[in-house]
Amino acid sequence: MPQVTLNNGVQMPVLGFGVYAIAPEHTEQAVTDALAAGYRHIDTAAGYENEEAVGRAIAKSGIPRDELFITTKLWVQDAGEDSTKRAFDRSLRRLGLDYLDLYLIHQPFGDYYGAWRAMQDINRQDAARAIGVSNFYADRLVDLIDHNEITPAVNQIETHPYFQRGADQDLMRKRGVQLQSWGPLAQGRDDLFTDPVLTEIAIAHGKTVAQVVLRWLIQRSIVVIPKSVRPERMAENIDVFDFQLTEDEMNRIATLDTGASSIFDHRDPQSVSWLGNVRFNT
């Protein structure tokens, strides 16, 4: 599996397996199947409420810990310096791990400055090999970088053919932050899987639309974490390293950008208020 090098030298697989919206009772089997398919990068979150199931699958797999890259995230209700450290410890216990490879602030709401101070301490103690953020727009990301010692290693944001985030990626590259895509397949919205441009390119390569989209993101140096509960889809999503999109094909996909979210607008006041007040059993 190809790797990217984060700003602190940590190696991160370019393709992983996400468990967002997989029910806890189905998560252990899904992660077990993903690991069997060759995935070694697993992405979860306290807010997904399935960390324990991820941990069980990891423990039963027998795969050496140093061959895995495990990410989880801090939910809004636990932001703040002291509460972040407690939430981190709870996540480690649920996962059954001694350390994380990547710990992210899940949303740019609440006391995320206090959270970042705690996460810097966690990183210095090697309890998390890398720390980063998720869903941060450029203004909040730059502000966080400029007023703290450690620059986030990763910003995990919605990125797919209909919301391509080119300007965000340019800024992150200049600031040393790795862009990671959540929702790389747009969660199947806007008829992505029947898009004529993507379909034509897929046929030309003997691949599926999903494989073309994941390959397009990887060729843009973006880390991807597709999700599926079907083993055949897991195998399909990881099988994207035996073909290359041409410059013309990359440019054709670039024309699909709408410049707007297909899933959730983190700048809409009502959405921000709703999301910032969601409570989970973290």
Strand 154-158 vs strand 178-182: parallel, antiparallel, or unpaired? Answer: parallel
Beta bridge partners of 155: 133, 179
| Sheet-wide strand order for 69-74 | 17-18, 41-43, 69-74, 102-105, 131-134, 154-158, 178-182, 223-224
Determine whether 48 is an active site residue: yes
**One of 20, 39, 48, 113 is an active-site residue; which one?**
48
Run of H or E residues at 239: none
Q: Whole-angstrom Cα distance, residue 97 to residue 66?
A: 11
Q: Give percent helix, percent strand, percent coil of the chain, each to the nearest 5.
A: 45, 15, 40
Q: What is the DSSP letter of 8?
A: T
Beta bridge partners of 3: 13
Integer-rounded Cα radius of gyration of the chain: 18
Q: Whole-angstrom Cα distance, residue 45 to residue 19?
A: 8
The dihedral built from the CA positions of residue 22, 26, 31 and 34, taken in this order, carries a sign that is: negative
Which of 86, 141, 56, 75 is closest to 275 using CA atoms? 75
- Which residues participate in catalysis according to the annotation? 48
